[in-house]
Structure 1
């Protein structure tokens, strides 16, 4: 009678309990600016990867994406806006008899800053020694096109499409032509024959390139005021500035003298002195991304 069994009220659950851990998926909102043309092969070392990242950053250009707005003149419009608000507040928003010396000092300081913002774009161009250029215009009789050879690989197609877009978007060029190992990518405003198909248009560009003898180009050609009589048939009508950047292939990295032409990048503009030194260095960096690429 003394041996009374103990009743356990706890549920019989095996120990330890293998409960699945809650999984949390991390969502991050990022804005990817694909302005680099990545090589088909990964870098062999961390140092090469760092150099590749530095080169990728060198071709990044951030813009607001507003059509017709030159971002270099953005401080001027900001100065106009805040200067106008200060004048409206002084003459319409406050009583002339109640204006204090502190308010006057603040308004004078604000107008001075607004004036400095207005002249800042002109001051920057003056310090760089830049010459005024005409506004980029589209010649009459041109047609907007975007053609590319069908034999190019998908990875290179994507790179050529993005490079052609950023070159036209971030420079004063109205037309561009990229030749890589005999394959063509043309974009922008060109004087093309009427009612032509894509295949006929590619053959038309190849004949123009052969006539201009650009397959063996090794040096950069820049015509800031005149497109050159030998290239009049190749570039669109009304071209006043022409830049041709060669794409050179180096078979041996240690031998810098054996550079063979692999193609070129051609940019045409209707303005004089359309490409600054910064533009030419940036275009050369884009051309270097195609060194040794396989189509």
Structure 2
């Protein structure tokens, strides 16, 4: 294995790239806002970032790991991020390999978050885990038996669209009652406003809940219950060791985790689910880069 892996994280608001060593340490990091414009303007920003980060390398780079907002198509090497409308089936793997001369490996951003936490974060030493991001949207990824689980297209683990309310609100995915329509930050705030809360956004909702506001506390409890239902369902299917939760809403700490863990005791009734741990993510915004490098390392070892 080479000394360094070049990692790329593509999101709707920012592009990040970094160098990760063989022990999973992020030794260099750079980022830039995701530009608006046509596909080639966006690609030019990515290519420039890759060039800048490669110039900081003081050791051999062996491969590139790519984390991208989805949907992704891993077999085709393309991405069609919902929040980057300029890119539809954009051939990111081909472009990166041509620009760098290195093999490139693609994963969804939720999968790479899970891989990062499994390698260097809260999930170290565990065999099977769900990484879950609870923020403006809800996403996730699965590491099963110590390996990334892509599924057929690369979109496995997209837990934000587990249905928790069959007669619930319409979701942007085209379905109805997804956990994202209940527990994501904007939906927490929207529900609270319909029940008399006068605040602006999820950040203020968390502040008010911490101050004892009854409606804000109910909003967090309702969202936490929906997340617990999702976790219980996924854990029953995948026989997980651990669930790692990150993202903006998860930064509210006990406001989310205390009712979540309490609800999980209700829903996770099978013997093999008892004692399932739900913990806060440790790597923050670096998880995608570290996980993208872990993904590349895995493919380098196992093909």
TM-score, normalization: structure 1? 0.25
Q: Which has the higher contact order (CA 8 A, sep 6+)?
A: 2
Which protein is bigger by CA-based radius of gyration? 1
Whose helix proportion is higher, 1 or 2? 2
TM-score, normalization: structure 2? 0.24
